[in-house]
A and B are shown apart, each in its own frame.
Chain A
Amino acid sequence: MTILSMRGITKTFPGVKALQDVTLDVERGEIHAICGENGAGKSTLMKVLSGVYPHGSYDGEILFDGEPCRFAGIRDSEHRGIVIIHQELALAPNLSIAENIFLGNEQATRGMIDWNRTNQAAQRLLRRVGLAENAVTPVVDLGVGKQQLVEIAKALSKEVRLLILDEPTAALNDEDSEHLLDLIRGLRDEGITCVIISHKLNEVMAIADRVTILRDGRTISTMSMEADQVTEEKIIAGMVGRDLDHRFPLRDPIIGDEILRIEDWTVHSPTQHGRVLVRGANLNLRRGEIVGLAGLMGAGRTELAMSVFGRSFGTGISGRVYKDGQLVQLRSVQDAIRHGIAYATEDRKRYGLNLIEDIKRNVSAAGLRKLAKRGWVDDNEEFKVAEEYRKSMNIKAPSVSSITGKLSGGNQQKVVLSKWIFTNPDVLILDEPTRGIDVGAKYEIYTIINRLAEAGKAVLLISSELPELLGLCDRIYTLSAGRITGEVPRADATQEGLMTLMTAGTAQ
């Protein structure tokens, strides 16, 4: 019996097809896993299903219980019993467990909340999910694992029939994960259908009845774990093998001495006490070398990079950084810049650019002192420098006085890169430099990266696109759940091999 059937779902954003003719069939009472690389379209598909992208903004049809669905928003889908629990939990921290469970669904009589009814109902739900807490406890006092259970209790309060969990165990320790998976099995036995999105293939193997694999916004296959004798290798083979649709500029690497070495690097979460995001990482970079850092969502790539870049992220950071063989202390972004390290963020709008300012002021932002004498900026020199970068980086804008907020993604990225190249770094950490950029601009960014390596700089390239890493890097590190799980030279690297390392379990 099919409970959910999504047929021919196609969703386009300006310039990109996020989903193309995707099909998903979920049987009643099963646990159905969805696997795919970052950006394969998993989250987009779930947003289509839950009505975040309303009917009409996509092509194709959704049948739930055999009836066509036209959701205008999340409320509509929840009304039918489809509930999605996102990776970033959406609980109000200062409200009690009971208040969170019935948020937007208040147990009221004539407009007044009936607290006895609310707390009693909440307590029953907590027992059902196996959470031994008082319903009036504020959510902020709970750990992530328990918060996850509150989310599930909240879903159960809505008489859920199809529960979608997006990376439910990403933030949990092994014990909490185990408990959660048991709970999901229990829910299945009660007749609740579950869809689980996960990067942890051992979990998928342990819990799923069937698995659907997405790649590049297309359905690759749907397999029954038992009938098709699914293995982790089989899933990986379906996930990778992304189209090598873009070309990469050629480069003859001339690799010199070691320039940066990171030893035993450990980073803790600034928001979740005791959670380790990066554990004992060791890596090194050499002059003229492009080194890749591969990892799935939540593996700790950005956390590693930003913590090295002047401790701009994380707490409880330990480990050693050697620059040109010398032990250096990078306590602030200023320290990092002074030691010739640059970090271009993965989120250029939030962390990279001052969008209300023009190109020249963004280009000069990190290296302003180079343009200043005794604290006074020479703005003609600034104009000249920005104009040089506009030409050499091919930033398409009427002038360097154009506001960066109005540029396209590719051109914004070029402004970010110009800003960091102007600081004349030895090491550039580029975090997803081609995210959200069209193919033509990607090739230009690749050329710039190659040019940097040819100029004797070391580049650490963080990317979710394996073909990009394979096409550009001399060496690739893989990161899984905060640990470096492999170091692969270009010659030996394959998408399957990398994905196996990227999904390697935490228990080693």
Chain B
Amino acid sequence: MTSVAPSNADLAVDPAPTANAGPPRRFQLNLRQSGIYFAFAAIVVLFTILTGGDLLAPQNISNIVVQNSYILILAIGMILVIIAGHIDLSVGSIVAASGAFAAVMMVNQGWPWPLAVLVTLLIGGLIGAWQGYWVAYFGIPAFIVTLAGMLLFRAVTLTVLGNRGIGPFPEEVRTLANGFTEGYLGNIGLGGALGGADLLSLLVGVVAVGVIAVTQWRTRAARLRYEQQVESMPLFIAKIALAGLVIMFVVVQLARFKNLPWVLVLLAALVIGYSLLTNRAVFGRQIYAVGGNLQAATLSGVKVKSVIFWIFVNMGVLSALAGIIFAGRLNQANPTAGDQFELDAIAAAFIGGAAVQGGVGKVVGAITGGLIMGVINNGMSLIGAQTESVMFVKGAVLLAAVAFDVWTKRRAGAAR
């Protein structure tokens, strides 16, 4: 067809020309993107009230971080898989299998722990490569490949472990999973009811806030140099101040309890690294391109198959990392480890704003989604709720989050 009778596809979705090129509706746009953070804040406030403040007690904050660390690590990998338009159901089984391999190497064979950790991550990568091959190069839907993987790697776990757990793990691995940084600089008194806190942790918190403020400032300045639109100065300062307050609050609470959990340090590094990867790296951009429109990405010269392959390799490595941490935390590699972790990781990604069709999602969003579920778990157990109610609420939250996303998209009249 030509201009005389454009094809139906053209006509059906062609919106009115951009005559309404007035001021962009910034606030509305921001609300859709940051709705998840408001929801998180609301849930934290709700449970703080319901638990009479226990939710934000020093030890409890530490618990939330440590108890959810492995799900959050999986969520980082999962969001990349989902952005690319795929899914991974096998991560729970990979967690179990890698825990088992790590245990055999460290406990039975007595390998030095750094070597064993490295080999375990490598095995995770190989498992990911196996699945990536079938998905990317053989063309089997990821749902099927990873459903098979879920069974395969659970079977591998059972074969390796027999029907028993293997432990205990070396001190260092347990520390990584469960332990806290040393207070090299001793404690300082915060005065009054706050008591003492670890100085090093506090300094790390202050430095982190400082680094965030400086990098944000430099990004903003660079954008201004390129004559891009930036948020107004008061809003910018308010955002930085708010982020600083939240970080310092968490750090102070953690410093009052013990020091910073090692897994928190690890998680922070992963979040920063993967955020940079998705926002700034060519590879990260290609993930969005593949998920947004596979054909267009192919015709733009993106090596689509290779991108999908490496996403699964990455998912395998992160699953192995989560497996080591989970095993270290239990101090035992267990045949049932990681059961249903894949569901928590997938839920975290979708609550965190990923789109079912792919092409959309953020690492920070997935982490927030994972924390929302973690806070619901923790808060509800603090007020003595039964397991079934916790499940019910989590299911409802997942459905509501995706329904909200679909609804805002439809209302915005976005294409497709």
User: B226 is contacted by which of A19, A349, A383 (Cβ under 8 Å)?
Assistant: A383
Judged by a CB distance under 8 angstroms, whether B228 is at the interface is yes
Q: Per-residue 0/1 for B226-255: is the Cβ within 8 Å of any A Cβ (1 yes, 0 no)?
A: 111100000000000000000000000000
Q: Per-residue 0/1 for A387-411: is the Cβ within 8 Å of any B Cβ (1 yes, 0 no)?
A: 1000000001111011111111111
With an 8 Å Cβ cutoff, the count of chain B residues facing the other chain is 54
Q: Which of A241-280 contact B (CB under 8 A)?
A: none
Q: Are B289 and A365 in contact (CB under 8 A)?
A: yes
Judged by a CB distance under 8 angstroms, whether B411 is at the interface is no
Instruction: Tell whether A436 pairs with B299 under 8 Å between CB atoms, given A39-B3, A397-B21, A399-B24.
Output: no
Judged by a CB distance under 8 angstroms, whether A16 is at the interface is yes
Q: Are B1 and A43 in contact (CB under 8 A)?
A: yes
Q: How far, in Å, is B411 (CB) from chain A's closest CB? A: 14
Q: A13 contacts which chain B residues (CB < 8 A)?
A: 5-6, 11
The residue in B18, B303, B360 that gathers the most chain A C-beta atoms within 10 A of its C-beta is B18
Q: Are B297 and A376 in contact (CB under 8 A)?
A: no
Q: A366 contacts which chain B residues (CB < 8 A)?
A: 300-301
Q: Which of B296-323 contact A (CB under 8 A)?
A: 296-303
Q: Per-residue 0/1 for B267-279: is the Cβ within 8 Å of any A Cβ (1 yes, 0 no)?
A: 0000000000001
Instruction: Tell whether A357 pairs with B288 under 8 Å between CB atoms, given A349-B10, A406-B18, A435-B10.
Output: yes
Q: Are A39 and B1 in contact (CB under 8 A)?
A: yes
Q: Are B5 and A18 in contact (CB under 8 A)?
A: yes
Judged by a CB distance under 8 angstroms, whether B130 is at the interface is no
Assembled-state Cα–Cα distance A18/B122 (Å): 61
Q: How far, in Å, is A417 (CB) from chain B's closest CB? A: 13
Assembled-state Cα–Cα distance A442/B223 (Å): 34
Q: Are A405 and B16 in contact (CB under 8 A)?
A: no
Assembled-state Cα–Cα distance A463/B4 (Å): 13
Judged by a CB distance under 8 angstroms, whether A419 is at the interface is yes
Q: How far, in Å, is B3 (CB) from chain A's closest CB? A: 6
Judged by a CB distance under 8 angstroms, whether A337 is at the interface is yes
User: A333 is contacted by which of B7, B227, B300 (Cβ under 8 Å)?
Assistant: B300
CB closest residue in chain A, given B9: A349
Judged by a CB distance under 8 angstroms, whether B283 is at the interface is yes
Interface SS majority for chain B: loop
CB closest residue in chain B, given A246: B3
Judged by a CB distance under 8 angstroms, whether B415 is at the interface is yes
Q: B285 contacts which chain A residues (CB < 8 A)?
A: 361, 364, 368, 377
Judged by a CB distance under 8 angstroms, whether B215 is at the interface is no
Q: Are A398 and B18 in contact (CB under 8 A)?
A: yes
Q: A354 contacts which chain B residues (CB < 8 A)?
A: 288-289, 292-293, 296-297, 359
Please list the 7 inter-chain residue pairs (A to B) with the smallest Cβ-Cβ separation, ordered nearest first: A405-B415, A39-B2, A436-B6, A354-B292, A408-B17, A18-B5, A436-B10
- Name B residues whose Cβ lies closer than 8 Å to a Cβ of A: 1-7, 9-11, 13-18, 21-24, 222-223, 225-229, 279-283, 285-286, 288-289, 292-293, 295-303, 355, 359-360, 413-416
A-B contact pairs, 13 of them (CB 8 A): A16-B3, A38-B2, A40-B4, A343-B299, A352-B299, A356-B355, A356-B414, A365-B296, A377-B285, A404-B415, A406-B413, A436-B7, A464-B2
- Name A residues whose Cβ lies closer than 8 Å to a Cβ of B: 13-14, 16-19, 37-41, 43-44, 216-217, 309-310, 312, 332-334, 336-337, 343, 345, 347, 349-357, 361, 364-366, 368-369, 372, 375-377, 379-380, 383-384, 387, 396-399, 401-411, 419, 432, 434-439, 442, 463-465
